[in-house]
Amino acid sequence: MTPGSDESKQRVATGLLPGRDEVDEAVAAAYEESRNVEGGDLADHIPSLAEADPELFGVCLAGVDGSIHEAGDADVEFTIQSISKAFVYALVSQARGHEVVRERVGVNNTGLPFHSVMALELNDGHPLNPMVNAGALATTSLVPGETPDEQWHAIRTGLSAFAGRPLDFDEEVHRSEQATNQRNRAIALLLESHGRLDDPMDTAELFTKQCSLRVSAHDLAVMGATLADGGTNPVTGERVVSAEVSRDTLALLATTGMYERSGEWLFRIGLPGKSGVSGGIVTIAPGKGGIGAFSPRLDSAGNSVRSEQFTAHLSRALGLNIFASDSYVPED
């Protein structure tokens, strides 16, 4: 079977979302419950992110049927940051095959912060997973293209296909990140020393650029719904990646998407998700839809406080937790 092909169909066991009115009510209620939640701080390690309006809060749920349910500042744009890691991983797996990416990058949680150097040192230079910065750099280095410009075109085109529209590039945030990404450049050099990537400076720059693409909560919901729908964008109808690649991406997000808080997130919410330090979180209910949320104030692990609260409420209200079940009652 060729990498990322649909030649081998998998059985799936997923249900649909409730009716439109019920979903609208649940999204509105979860938004209202979360909008006044206090706590958290703006990201200050990237100067331009520290200037964000801390009161912005937008949410959206996109169903696999193409339906859209949103509240608040759902169309306000922000930079995608580390959420890009999930979708670049999917694009690379589609192009290279998941075994290549698994061998080069890995699939296990580090249990350490996203920018940890210690994790590399403790594991013989192996990044362990694509959602921490070391693994994301190794993954980005595998993006197809003969030159960095060709790789950048592939990333921007691919993430735009997930969102269903052309994504803009934020020059200001990019310049701000370039001035402060010494740690990522150091990690890239360390990866090179272990034979995990070539051209470390080009890779670090490409990774910084992918994090500077602009999205909204609406965009994140559509991107998540594309993975929920087996790789087909439910708004445009375009197949972006295969069902197998979507499955593998969601498995990784479930165990590593929220860094050292991934276990707590999965225990509380029961869905694969990915956060970014600009305040975005994308969450996926397989076979049902994607949830996008944005609020700039973060907890100590770099996850949006209000976005997490909203997602937890919505998961409970709509019964999205993939681990939930009830007793079997035989029919008479």
Q: Give ∠ CA 75-77-81 in degrees, rounded to 5.
A: 135
Q: How far apart are CA 260 and CA 111, in angstroms?
A: 5
φ/ψ of 164, rounded to 5, equals 80, 15
Residue found under tokens 């999917």 = 90
Radius of gyration of the chain, Cα coordinates, nearest whole angstrom = 19
- Residue 277 assigned as binding residue: yes
pLDDT of 186 reads 85
Report the number of distinct structural domains present in the chain: 1
Residue 329 covered by a domain: no
**200 is a domain residue:** yes
For residue 329, what pLDDT band results from cuts at 50, 70 and 90? confident
Beta strands (DSSP E) in 12-107 are 58-63, 68-72, 78-79
Q: Are 310 and 30 in contact (CB under 8 A)?
A: yes
**Structural domain contains residue 96:** yes
Residue 233 in marked binding region:
no
Q: Is 184 annotated as a binding residue?
A: yes
Looking at residue 121, its pLDDT comes to: 52
> At CA 314, angle to CA 313 and CA 317, rounded to 5?
90
Per-residue pLDDT band for 107 (boundaries 50, 70, 90) equals low
- Residue 262, CB-side half-sphere exposure with 13 Å CA sphere: 24
226-278 pLDDT, tens digit each? 999 999 999 999 999 999 999 999 998 998 888 778 889 999 999 999 999 99
pLDDT at 2 exceeding the cut of 80: no
| 3-state SS, one letter per residue, for 163-216 | HCCCCCECHHHHHHHHCCCHHHHHHHHHHHHCCCCCCHHHHHHHHHHHCCEEEC
pLDDT in tens, 122-145: 445 445 567 788 888 889 999 999
Question: Does 314 reside within a domain?
Answer: yes
Flag whether 84 is marked binding. no
The domain in which residue 238 lies consists of 20-318
What is d(CA 132, CA 240) in angstroms, rounded to the nearest whole number? 23
Whether 129 has a binding-site annotation, put simply, is no
Out of 96-110, 175-189, 203-217, 267-281, pick the least confident: 96-110
Distances in Å between the Cα of 256 and the Cα atoms of 1, 83, 112 are 27, 12, 10
Residue 4 pLDDT > 50, yes or no? no
How much is the pTM? Answer: 0.89
Quick one: pLDDT at residue 191? Answer: 78
Residue 64 forms part of a structural domain: yes
pLDDT-based confidence at 114, cuts 50/70/90?
very low
Token pair recorded at residue 192: 């090179």
Distance CA 64, CA 286 (A): 9
Residue 326 placed within a domain: no
Mean pLDDT of the chain: 87
Q: Which residues pair with 169 in a beta bridge?
A: 213
Q: Determine, yes or no, domain membership for 80.
A: yes
CATH of the domain at 38: 3.40.710.10
